[in-house]
Amino acid sequence: MKRILIILIVIMTGISCNNEFLEKIPTTSSVVENFYNSPTDAKQALTSVYNMLLRDDYWSLHIYAEIRSDLFAGGAGTGDGGGFQLLDRGLQWPETNAFQIHWTTYWGAIYRANTYLEAESQIDWTGNEKLRLQYQAEARFLRAYFHFYLTRMFGEIPALDRVISPDEIPARSSAEELYTLMIEDLKFASENALSEPYGQMKPENWGRATKWAAKALLTRVFMYYSGYYNQSEIAGINNSTALTYIEDVISNSGHNLVPEYASLWKVPCVSELGSLDSYAGETNQEVIWSVRFNNVGSGSYGGNQFVRMIGPRGTNIDPYGQGWGAMPVLPSFWNDFNNDDKRKKATILSWDDEGLTYNWETQQQAQYTGYSLKKYEILSIDGSPEPKPDWQTMADEDYIVLRYADVLLMAAELRSLVNGEGDAQAVTYLNRVRERAFGNSNYNYSNASINNILNERKFELAGEEIRYWDIMRSCKGDFSKLTTMLTYVDDNDGGDYSNSADTQSLDVDGSNFEKTKGLFQIPQNELDLMRGVFEQNPGYSAND
Amino acid sequence: MRIKQHTGIRKNSQRIFIYLLFTLLLLPAAYAQKRTISGTVKDATGETLVGVNIVIKGSSVGTATDIDGNYTLEVSNNNDVLVANYIGYIPSEITIGNQTLINFVLEKDIQDLDEVVVVGYGVQKKKLVTGATTQLKNEDFVKNNVVQLESAMQGLTPGMLIVKQSGQPGSDFNITIRGLSSINGNSPLVLIDGVPGSFSMVNPSDVESVDVLKDAASAAIYGSRAANGVVLITTKKGTKGEPVISYDAYYGVSNIYKTVDVLNARQYAEIMNEASFNSKPSRALPFTDEYIESLGEGTNWQQEALNENAPSQSHYLGINGGNDMSTYSISFSYASEEGIFDYDGKSKYQKLGFRINSEHQLKPYLKIGENLTYSHRERRAMGTGNIYNNFIHDLLQSNPLFDAYDEGSYDGFGRSNFYDEQINPVASMHYNFNGTNKTDDLIGNVYAEVEIAKGLKFRSDFGGTLNFGYNYSHRDTFTLTPYTYSSIPSYSQGMSRNFYYNFDNVLSYQTTIDKHSIEGIIGMNAQDGRYFNVNGSREGYLSNVAPVINNVTTNIDTTYIYGDYGEGDSRFSYFARASYNYNEKYMATVSIRRDGSSRFGRDKRYGYFPSASAGWVITQEDFMKDVAGLNFLKIRASWGQNGKEPADQFVYMARVGSENRYYTFGGEREVGVSPIIFANPTLKWEASTQANIGFDSRFMEWFRFTFDIYKKESKDWIMQTPVPGISGIDGISSSNPYINGGNVVNSGIELELGYQKSFGEFSIDMAANFAYNKNMVTEVPDSIIMGSASVLYNGSDEFYRVQEGMPMGFFWGYVTDGIFQTQEDIDNHVGPDGVKKLQATAKPGDVKRLDLNNDGLMNDKDKTMIGDPNPDYIYGFRLNMAYKGFDLSMNVQGQGGNQIVQSYRSQERFFNNYTTEILDRWQWTDANNNNVVDAGEGNGNRIPRVTLNDESNQNWRKFSDLYIHDGDFVKIKSVNLGYNFKTSVFKNTPIKQFRVYVAASNLLTITKYNGLDPEIGYGSYYDSEGKLRDAYASGIDVGFYPSPRTYLIGVNVKF
């Protein structure tokens, strides 16, 4: 008996391999401490930062910023709650957390960039020192890009160059600190990123932030800072030094304008040039940097989902594919366009002028102006939207962030600022864009006044998330100008276009753009989570 | 049919077997010459007793008394002792000697306290139990005639709330014992014959007893998984004696007992016109008067989807028997149910299973045995639950202007020509919901028990669950609307395997010295699990041959495969318990468990869970002897601590992953990797502490009364806390980091009153239970946990929360104060300054909201608790009556004090239909009928005017008490009327018992709630990753598949 008892006790205690028994690691994911080892790991970690670019959805800032501009109405569906219309008028979205997704997504992107920059030191780079610098450059480019996105929307956000813990709440940084971080990141990228000119770049690197993209973005960031904050210099960059960056892109990047404006996007290409055969493709010479939407196989965050918002609601008339009716073009913009300007019909679909009918009331489109945006509209083939099977999630057209025409116009503007509006080179840059648009030199400008340049930017870059920020920076810190530039006046535009009811017929609060300095409302949820450390942007009450 | 009058029918052979199991001693019998003895068994009043078990003590030889109370038995040894056993009576023993006629007179055991109940790792006499436990026996629930055990148990256990997640056959249940104690799921730990499992693995007919351990002290022996209570399911075991074969079957038909009144075609068109006019007076109305005149009732979508007389059936074959060495219990069962809403057999549940339990006494000191249950479940179900995948929701709000079927359309289904986005809900049922889920479950264990010395036993028990799931589904092409379509068919298949083992080793010792009785156990438990699954889908054209992935032809490769496996979900524990009683008068128990779990980081991996309890049988005291009418009174008190672990593995650990992290460079999609979680190595168990005081009593011989009062404090919930977006959380995961936090107190009382008596040929047994619980959250990190948005309709605000000082999942919204009748009302609704209008943009007919904090602003700060989904009290009533051959049983279940949020209509779609409640809307009446809406006085003071849901006052878009309804109800859950044929009818057949019955479930529901069913098990939901979200939410009716009313007939036969 005793022996049995002993055996039993041994069994009971002997099974207790205990600590080892309970030390379990996952089979399907790695653990942070031991993941970052080789350059391959680095490449994967960096890829995850790029991945954040793909999050754009129906809420894309691309759409929101354009709706706020003077070129587009709100649109969308009658069931969408009227937020788009209110946004158009500079008013508060009915839901106080409407912009939370912008806030969280792009802070998430900054987190991934910082995670990369902190973890990359664990990696053995022996023999790959140049690659290390290139990857660092790309991560810093993206960090700057995402900061720039957030600060234009929300103002003086914290400049984060490190991973913070979930309970740390950083304070707002000054504009100077914030822009210094962005400019320094972009300077580093300008020196260390891939530097082959267009045409010599390895195809597998298409989509990576290059030296040229960094220089163009640096110029854009500087110009926004100097305009919006009315400052002449930041982190050693002023108009003159910025000019050297942007002119380097003009001269040495190998990028150039494509001959036909309409060939840059699929739908304008079909409607204006006759068929998709003329499409310049996503990797054409004019594209300096774009977000590479792609939808190989299933899975979310692959397709370009904001394009589905733009088309006419519920109607496919080849080549105009359906969307959810957001961002209808204001008639004033159509009227402002010179009829000889080939960009007019490449940019805007005028239903009447093209002899098409669109029954917006039965389709429950909240606003209808008679005009839709063609650029980025999804394609319709045989009366059904492309791509199939799911036009809503599988659109894979790249979203162009930086293109050569913009570079030329930025250079023209800086030259004009440095040397005056008569600067011959500035006029040349400006007219290169203009001549392509008209197909001849009949409409060439004789001087490169800031006004001429901004006007040209409006027509050239409409619907590309440029216009609203151009207006913001052109105020030079005097936000009362926004009131006249952005206020939506029904009468001037020929009616309120509304399909129904109260929310679409709201009184226009013209002073709101001034009060908010053009910024967006910080989501109330986030302010609550930051326990009052962070203040709401001016002009927005947390109430109602 | 000849039915002779007879007396004293109190037969229930199942009770006998249960009793036998625990009372037979395991001694070898000796045999000699055989002779026959006979006799009669009567009770103290002289009435004969039917079905009394007569056995030779220490053997398996025995018989039972017949309908007249007589028995005959062959015996061979004069020294043998005959034992007469009958449930509810004190067993009687008579030594045979040389008698040939032995009559027994059995004394009623008013206590029934010598019965044993199952406690963790053992059994205990009921009268010695010091915790709060409830035992249900097979006969308590089997007459409910349902396929699922949880359903059978509804309303029977005080303090245990069981609510079906959907009335669709085969759906799961939400089970809460003593209130919500965690935001992280509240299901109790379920053990089947000691092996962790789930209710769905067993058939109700196979269950001998269910013991619910409600207080912490009873459950503490299960430590880290017991915070929500423990349910111990014991399956039927074999008994010594002649084999008994039983066959039970029923067949029934189910129907809906209530539909919701929605607008008919004419009402609908009128309301749409009115809404359109109110929103945009200048616009042409959608319907002309002539058209409205021409309309009739239109389509009643609920009727279109009904499956009238949905059949259900069940068959159960059980065999019990055994001899001195071995006993066995075998069963086979099959059941099927169809849903009351159906399209082409898409709502159906089938279950098939068998069970083999056996036990062998190999040596006097060595016993081995095994339990094994297999079940196969097959379920086809249509979407219920959230608004996006809920066909009931579609049925309730589809407009009545078009037919379900239209021969002219390409697919035979009607299409709305009034509104493009309107789907045909019947067509949607056809095209969607083509999935079938099948499950094979094996649960079982093998064990050996050695008696090392007298009273000292060692038991080793190895068991586990093995689960295979497989599913397949297809989606054809369809165009329901221009927005809801599928342009390419697809097919998917998946399979999973889950295995958990459970290894228990327990050393127990029991001894009695004089009047001191001591019992102790010490043991260890190890568990480990692994899973494997693979799912694939492919888009393309389906072969007609067999729709499997291989037969899908595609132009481009659309194959999607996902596979995963994991292992090592491990727990390792020691536990010990000591019980002491003095003369069954004073008793005390202490226990402790030390748990280790792989779900925590190294420093938080171990936890201790102690308990203590004591009892005092006052009626054993001399000074209580004279208290008339009080037969038994035991006072007991207990205290204990339990834990609850995270729902998933590895939540504490810093991991990186690649899901949704790719990017395309050139033409190649490249893998991206980054952290997927904010690690928290300090994560620890949720801790629940509970104190319980109660008493058990028997009085006036026939009554029993049990009372409990408890307070349960559950803190350190393992919760995901929202962190500021600035931390980068969105770049990590869509789910927030895990922390410990929060505290909720549940306090309440439970009582159960029973009465059992015979009056000549009539016997009655009834029990009523009642439980009151108060749920109060006392601490929440950052003071609020916000519920999900878009629950009621796309874009709806969050409206349930967890907040300090409030019950869990309370409804949070505006308090309304009727309807603005005039512009003057609006102008007079001002803030404290007497000037600023609170709802300046409102129009007459809009809802008036109260500025509760009186700050002159109408905003979230004015929202408050406007409803509580948790019932204040739940109750049940059970009745069993028998008269001559007839028996009647009934179960009633009810609850009160809870509210329901009802939202059948997606507010963003103004063309959706309304329930007829909208006919009471505010409607301006004008003598001149000049269609001016901005002036005048209206009528109706609860439902606001109709608009295209775009009024700036946002009458329905701002969540308010407009959505709140009281949810009190009482249901007659089941009624069962049976007749037992006299055995003499079957004299020359092997039939020993033959009972036929008719039964009904959900016969009657009494409620003021106007929805489909007040018993709503929706609130928490599973997200796209299959994780339980908002586990604390309940009482949300967005179109709830109601429980059916079923009528059935059945037989119980014993051979």
Q: How many CB pairs under 8 A join A and B?
A: 279
Q: Which of A414, A419, A421, A261 is nearest to A346 (CA)?
A: A261
Residue B341: pLDDT over 90: yes
HEC-encoded secondary structure of A142-171: HHHHHHHHHHHHHCCCCCCCCCCCCCCCCC
Cβ-contact B509, B455 below 8 angstroms = yes
- Would you place residue B33 in the very low, low, confident or very high pLDDT band (cuts 50, 70, 90)? low
Query: Of B589-593, B705-709, B752-756, B838-842, where does mean pLDDT reach its minimum?
Result: B838-842
- Would you place residue B690 in the very low, low, confident or very high pLDDT band (cuts 50, 70, 90)? very high
Any A CB within 8 A of B546 CB: no
pLDDT digits (tens, 9 = 90+) for A18-62: 667 888 888 777 888 788 999 999 999 999 999 999 987 778 899
Cα B756 to Cα A348: distance, rounded to the nearest angstrom: 85
- Partners of A33 on chain B (C-beta within 8 Å) are 654
**Gap from B258 CA to chain A (nearest CA, Å):** 32
Choose the most confident range, by mean pLDDT, from A171-180, A387-396, B26-35, B418-427: A171-180
Any A CB within 8 A of B1023 CB: no
Least CB-CB distance to A301: which of B605, B660, B668? Answer: B660
Any A CB within 8 A of B844 CB: no
Q: Which two tokens stand for residue B474?
A: 């297809």
Residue B25: pLDDT over 50: no
- Would you place residue A299 in the very low, low, confident or very high pLDDT band (cuts 50, 70, 90)? very low
Residue B110: pLDDT over 70: no
Q: Which residues contact B678 (CB under 8 A, 6 or more apart)?
A: A166, B723, B727, B729, B732, B733, B736, B737
Residue B925: pLDDT over 90: no
Q: Do B665 and A292 touch (CB under 8 A)?
A: yes
Least CB-CB distance to B729: which of A4, A104, A206? Answer: A104
C-alpha distances in angstroms, A138 versus A199, B321, B357, B776? 20, 77, 66, 52
- pLDDT value, residue A544: 39
Residue B23: pLDDT over 80: no
Any B CB within 8 A of A359 CB: no
Amino acid making up residue B58: G
Any B CB within 8 A of A439 CB: no
pLDDT digits (tens, 9 = 90+) for A315-332: 899 999 999 889 999 888
Cβ-contact B204, B706 below 8 angstroms = no
Cβ-contact B38, B73 below 8 angstroms = yes
Residue A7: pLDDT over 80: no
Least CB-CB distance to B676: which of A29, A114, A203? Answer: A29
Q: Please, what's the b/e burial string for A232-242 (b: 16 or more CB within 10 A of its CB; e: otherwise)? A: eebbebbbeeb
Q: What percent of chain B has pLDDT over 90?
A: 60
pLDDT digits (tens, 9 = 90+) for B210-231: 999 999 999 999 998 999 999 9
Q: Do B505 and A11 touch (CB under 8 A)?
A: yes
Cα A544 to Cα B953: distance, rounded to the nearest angstrom: 11
Three-state DSSP class for residue B361: strand
- Partners of A47 on chain B (C-beta within 8 Å) are 661-663, 665, 670-673
Any A CB within 8 A of B653 CB: yes
Cα B203 to Cα B335: distance, rounded to the nearest angstrom: 9
Nearest Cα residue in chain B from A298: B560
Residue B168: pLDDT over 60: yes
Any A CB within 8 A of B836 CB: no
Residue B563: pLDDT over 70: yes
Least CB-CB distance to A15: which of B524, B605, B730? Answer: B524
- Partners of B669 on chain A (C-beta within 8 Å) are 294, 296
pLDDT (mean) for A118-125: 94
HEC-encoded secondary structure of B497-553: EEEEEEEEEEEEEEEEECCEEEEEEEEEEEEEEEEEEEEEEEECEECCCCCCHHHEE
**Gap from B457 CA to chain A (nearest CA, Å):** 10
Q: Which two tokens stand for residue B878?
A: 């059970």
Chain A, residues 169-198, CB within 8 A of chain B, namely: 169-170
pLDDT (mean) for B687-698: 95
pLDDT (mean) for B151-169: 93
Q: Which two tokens stand for residue B448?
A: 């050996």
CA of residue A413 relative to chain centroid, distance = 22
Query: Of A270-279, B3-12, B744-753, where does mean pLDDT reach its minimum?
Result: B3-12
- Partners of A155 on chain B (C-beta within 8 Å) are none
Residue A16: pLDDT over 60: no
| Interface with A, mutate which of B417, B508, B663 (most A CBs under 10 A) | B663
Q: Do B672 and A388 touch (CB under 8 A)?
A: no
pLDDT digits (tens, 9 = 90+) for B785-799: 888 888 999 888 899
pLDDT (mean) for B153-174: 93
Least CB-CB distance to A112: which of B572, B674, B786? Answer: B674
- pLDDT value, residue B98: 81
Least CB-CB distance to B660: which of A8, A166, A300? Answer: A300
pLDDT (mean) for B828-857: 91
Any A CB within 8 A of B110 CB: no
pLDDT (mean) for B298-326: 95
| Interface with A, mutate which of B273, B664, B908 (most A CBs under 10 A) | B664
- pLDDT value, residue B89: 76
Residue A511 or A274, more confident: A274
Q: What is the mean pLDDT of chain B?
A: 89
Residue B27: pLDDT over 50: no
Residue A490: pLDDT over 70: no
Least CB-CB distance to B725: which of A41, A103, A168? Answer: A103
Cα A496 to Cα B512: distance, rounded to the nearest angstrom: 93
Q: Which residues contact B260 (CB under 8 A, 6 or more apart)?
A: B302, B396, B904, B915, B1010, B1011, B1012
| Interface with B, mutate which of A21, A35, A36, A51 (most B CBs under 10 A) | A51
Query: Of A392-396, B320-324, B364-368, B834-838, where does mean pLDDT reach its minimum?
Result: A392-396
- Please report which helix (H) or strand (E) contains residue A410, including its range: helix A404-419
Would strands B490-513 and B133-137 be described as parallel, antiparallel, or unpaired?
unpaired
**Gap from A343 CA to chain B (nearest CA, Å):** 29
Residue A17: pLDDT over 80: no
- Partners of A384 on chain B (C-beta within 8 Å) are 487
pLDDT (mean) for B811-816: 96
- pLDDT value, residue B15: 47
* Greatest alpha-carbon span in chain A: 112
- Partners of A108 on chain B (C-beta within 8 Å) are 725, 728-732
Residue A243 or B109, more confident: A243
Chain A, residues 74-103, CB within 8 A of chain B, namely: 78-82, 94-95, 100, 103
Tell me the torsion sign for CA atoms A501, A505, A509, A515: positive
How far separated are the first and last CA of chain B, in Å rounded?
20
**Gap from B618 CA to chain A (nearest CA, Å):** 40
Q: Which two tokens stand for residue B1046?
A: 């079923």
pLDDT (mean) for A399-421: 97
Q: What is the mean pLDDT of chain A?
A: 88
| DSSP assignments along A331-347, one per residue | HHHHHHS-TT-THHHHH
Query: Of A123-132, B114-123, B933-942, where does mean pLDDT reach its minimum?
Result: B933-942
Q: Do B661 and A51 touch (CB under 8 A)?
A: yes
- Partners of A46 on chain B (C-beta within 8 Å) are 672
Cβ-contact B892, B971 below 8 angstroms = yes
Cα A537 to Cα B428: distance, rounded to the nearest angstrom: 46
**Dihedral, CA of residue A286, residue A292, residue A296 and residue A302, to nearest 10:** -140
Cβ-contact B312, B1048 below 8 angstroms = yes
Would strands B35-43 and B104-106 be described as parallel, antiparallel, or unpaired?
parallel
Residue A492: pLDDT over 70: no
Any A CB within 8 A of B442 CB: no
CB count within 10 Å of CB B500 equals 20
Cβ-contact B814, B960 below 8 angstroms = yes
Q: Do A107 and B730 touch (CB under 8 A)?
A: yes
Residue B29: pLDDT over 90: no
Q: Which two tokens stand for residue A149?
A: 């996105």
pLDDT digits (tens, 9 = 90+) for B874-890: 999 999 999 988 999 99
Burial class (CB in 10 A: 0-12, 13-18, 19+), B985: middle
- pLDDT value, residue B956: 93
- pLDDT value, residue A251: 96
- pLDDT value, residue B937: 57
Cα B84 to Cα B19: distance, rounded to the nearest angstrom: 11
Residue B536 or A541, more confident: B536
Residue B107: pLDDT over 80: no
Cβ-contact A110, A142 below 8 angstroms = no
Least CB-CB distance to B666: which of A165, A170, A206? Answer: A206
Least CB-CB distance to B731: which of A95, A108, A314? Answer: A108
- pLDDT value, residue B650: 86
Any A CB within 8 A of B834 CB: no
Q: What percent of chain A has pLDDT over 70?
A: 89
pLDDT digits (tens, 9 = 90+) for B451-476: 999 999 999 999 999 999 999 998 88
Cβ-contact A300, A54 below 8 angstroms = no
Would strands B762-779 and B541-542 be described as parallel, antiparallel, or unpaired?
unpaired
**Gap from B789 CA to chain A (nearest CA, Å):** 11
Indicate the pTM of the whole model: 0.81
